[in-house]
Amino acid sequence: MNETHMTHVFTAEGVSCTVPSPDGERTVFSGLDFAIDAREIVDLVGPSGSGKSSLLTAFALLNPHARGTFALDGRDSSGFTPQRWRREVAYLPQRPVLPGATVADAIRLPFMLSVRAGGEDGREGLRDGNGPRRPGGLFGRFAALFRDGEANARRLLPEERIRATLDAMGCTDIDLTRAPHDLSGGQAARVSLARTLLTSPRVLLADEVDAGLDDENAEKVASIMSDAAAHGMAIVRIRHRPPDGRASRIVTLSHGVLSWDGSLVKDPDAKDANKEAVA
Amino acid sequence: MSGNAYDIDVWGLVVALAMVAVAAGVSGLMRMGIGRSLMWSACRALLQLCAMGFVVGYVIRADNVFLVFATIGVMLVAAVQITLSRAKGVPKGLAGPVLLSLTITMLLMIALVTELVVRPHPWYAPQLVVPLTGMLLGNTVSALAVGLSRFYESMDERRDEIDTMLALGATAWEAARPSIVSSIRLGLLPTMATLASCGIVTIPGMMAGQVIAGGDPLEAAKYQFVVFAAIASLTLVADGLIMAMVYRTCFTALDQFRSADMRGAR
């Protein structure tokens, strides 16, 4: 368990973000450093417009205006394809987008993608997935064009497994055969979260997922995430609600400066105690 | 064939123009505001068609392979210009991909329709190759213009969906695919509608022309079918090629979505 102290699961160094504006370019932030360990939940707070979302999309290599050095388990992001990086460092957008005819289809979306079609690097899309290895080379690339992503997704993620996962997350109220646009705001937020959690990323970047939810749904979302963290996921949450006691650190981004309130993180005993409780 | 045809004299053209003038006058009375442009377009069409007739007549009489391909080259360049001026909201720098996709499609058509199906002597028979290219380009130009406009519009509409898909590990191709499919479908819609309705509701222009010129209607029907089949399949090829060449303009090298303002859309 100590190796997580040696190398953080995720590190970011010298992150900057410059957006075009009517009068030239505007620097949102620059030179930010950040690190997070497995099983940790870090809350990212700060005034709106300070660039919290830009920072998280930069972590997932999704922000075309951002630069920086990122590493996962000490491996630099340049050693990953963008797809494999995002499979491990998953950004969860604030607004749930659930394409497809049913909730089950929306949840299967990530498993229709070629990045999870087979375990190229020994790691399956699902931990106990048993997908076929994709034939490499030109033929493999050509065959991937005609691969039936939907059948593959159905096999990787059968209905029963989605049901069991949703039930375990306390989402017994969500009917898998319903159309996604019939879901309430809270249900849609939980389905979107469940979809990303089922892909088992190493790092989850949750962008104000509980915004616009009532207290009950916000509580449900928070407890789903702390369960995931207890199983080893590193989670960064952007939040506007008052602290719910689940974060091990609260980091503030304001006027381009990232500062953390050390009271929670600087106490190694508390952290180890937390880990033991989990184990 | 021209022996059986009924030629149109100058008075015939005057009557046709007079019909347009009456229609323009009526629309002027009803204040629809399209009278002037209708009249102007009709005069332009008359001039363009006559010029085309002279050029094609000259090319056919000259019967020279270089002249045939020079004519086709000019048609291709004009087709690129028309495609780009009709497509809305597309970024700059698409002239190359459009020209390439039209050229490949045109070469396929000459290879398949002319050399495999019709087999004329000489192989570059101008009276066959030039009109066929014209019909094919007319169709692909509108399909490409509609397809390109729809593609970029759809990518911007699906912005949130694309960001979500990329965040879940989609490649640029996977994230763009729904927009590519819907734009190709929209570009092909008129072609498919023509295929389904021809012979029942309409006598297609080319077949009508051959019949009026005294050709055998069944022969004309066979010709028409070959041309329709070629146009339908090659329009799909042209649309598919252009999408494969341009979808990356919506993404950065790191597979991040580039919005309309980053692409420098016109």
pLDDT in tens, chain A (279 residues): 444 445 789 999 999 999 888 888 889 999 999 999 999 999 999 988 889 999 999 999 999 999 999 999 989 999 999 999 999 999 999 889 999 899 999 999 999 888 887 644 434 333 333 334 444 456 655 665 666 677 778 887 888 888 988 887 778 888 889 999 999 888 898 899 999 999 999 999 999 888 878 888 888 889 889 999 999 999 999 988 888 888 988 999 988 888 876 544 444 444 443 433 333
What residue spans define the domains of chain B?
Answer: 1-62, 64-263
Q: Highest-confidence range of A145-149, B85-89, B93-97, by mean pLDDT? A: B93-97
* E-state strands within chain B: none
Per-residue 3-state assignment (H helix, E strand, C coil) for B39-94: HHHHHHHHHHHHHHHHHHHHHHHHCCHHHHHHHHHHHHHHHHHHHHHHCCCCECCC
Q: How many CB atoms lie within 10 A of CB B58?
A: 12
d(CA A148, CA B195): 30
The pLDDT mean for chain B works out to 89
The pLDDT of residue A22: 82
Cross-chain residue pair B254–A64, CB shorter than 8 Å: yes
As a whole number, mean pLDDT of residues B230-244 equals 93
Question: pLDDT per residue over B8-32, tens digit each?
Answer: 888 999 999 999 999 988 988 888 7
* Residue closest to A119 by CA, chosen among A204, A159, A127: A127
CA distances for B257 relative to A64, B76, B253, B261, angstroms: 7, 32, 10, 11
Instruction: Count contacts between A and B (CB, < 8 Å).
Output: 66
Is B177 in the A-facing interface, judged by CB distances under 8 Å?
no
What residue spans define the domains of chain A?
Answer: 1-98+201-279, 103-182
CA distances for B67 relative to B4, B106, B236, angstroms: 29, 16, 29
Ranges of H-type helices in chain A: 3-6, 52-59, 82-88, 103-108, 137-146, 149-156, 159-168, 185-198, 215-230, 262-265, 268-278
- pLDDT above 60: residue B243: yes
The pLDDT of residue A277: 38
User: Could you say which of B163, B166, B174 has the minimum Cβ distance to residue A114?
Assistant: B174
d(CA A131, CA A124): 7
Mind telling me how many Å the CA of A44 is from chain B's nearest CA?
19
Mind telling me how many Å the CA of B255 is from chain A's nearest CA?
7
Class assignment of domain A1-98+201-279? alpha beta
Is A91 in the B-facing interface, judged by CB distances under 8 Å?
yes
Question: Closest chain B residue to A125 measured between Cα atoms?
Answer: B169
Cross-chain residue pair A109–B165, CB shorter than 8 Å: yes
The pLDDT of residue B151: 95
Omega of the bond leading into B131 within 30 degrees of 0 (cis): no
Cross-chain residue pair A110–B262, CB shorter than 8 Å: no
CA atoms in the 13 A half-sphere facing the CB of A251: 25
Which position has the higher pLDDT, A122 or B95? B95
Instruction: Write the DSSP string, A113-182.
Output: SGGGSS-TTS--SSTT--PPPPP-HHHHHHHHHH--HHHHHHHHS-HHHHHHHHHHTT-TT--TTS-GGG
